Amino acid sequence: MKVNITGKNFNTYQKLQDTVEKKFDKLSKFFSDEIVANIVLSKERGKDKIEATINAKGAVFRAEEVTQDIHEGIDIVIDKLSSQMSKFKGKLRKRYNDNKALKFEYLPEMDEEVEEVRVVRSKKFQLTPMSVDEAILEMEMLSHDFFVFLDMETDSVNVVYKRKDGNYGLLETTY
């Protein structure tokens, strides 16, 4: 596995880079192809933040963590990525009826049972054309974390969401 480490307002030193590469190298046995892991280390409000993204064929694994100690954050991110890979492997097995030629055949088994994901509630609603600002206002009035709306400028279905840092994000759809 190739590991790209980027520091944003964060000084990466050789020992830290070696630690990150060593820990992420444990995940490399899960993939048959040469996979690239993009790691971003940064400072956020006095704490250390690590973001990891692994693009595999057919799946993207991503995890981030903000901690006081960067080494603790690295361990948590590795655990999150491993869990995501196990769940993905379970889905592949289920889809292909235990076909042994799976993409992640060397993925370790999780100790705990993987819960079956199921839809417990369904809701239909009318999409109303509105601007992004109006959608944010609606989302805030409903006290939701996200809001689906029809963008009046682009005539596409978009989603606004509240980020952990208190700002807003926008997901724009294309077809």
Amino acid at position 34, single letter: E
Return the pLDDT at 95: 63
Q: What residue spans in the chain does CATH classification 3.30.505.50 cover?
A: 129-172
Which tokens sit at 37?
Answer: 């892991």
Q: What residue spans in the chain does CATH classification 3.30.160.100 cover?
A: 2-95
| Assigned CATH topology for domain 129-172 | SHC Adaptor Protein (3.30.505)
Kindly write down the DSSP assignment for every residue of 113-143, as one continuous string.
Answer: PPPPP-----------EE-HHHHHHHHHHHT
Q: What is the largest CA-CA distance in the chain?
A: 55
Per-residue pLDDT band for 96 (boundaries 50, 70, 90) equals low
- 84, 9, 18: which is closest to 48 by C-alpha? 9
Contact (Cβ atoms closer than 8 angstroms) between residue 147 and residue 136: yes
Contact (Cβ atoms closer than 8 angstroms) between residue 147 and residue 160: yes
Asked if the model's pLDDT at residue 154 lies above 80, the reply is: yes
pLDDT tens for 5-16 read: 888 888 778 888
Asked if the model's pLDDT at residue 101 lies above 70, the reply is: no
Which tokens sit at 33?
Answer: 């192809």
Q: How far apart are CA 57 and CA 61, in angstroms?
A: 11
Predicted TM-score of the model (pTM) = 0.56
Which CATH architecture fits 2-95? 2-Layer Sandwich (3.30)
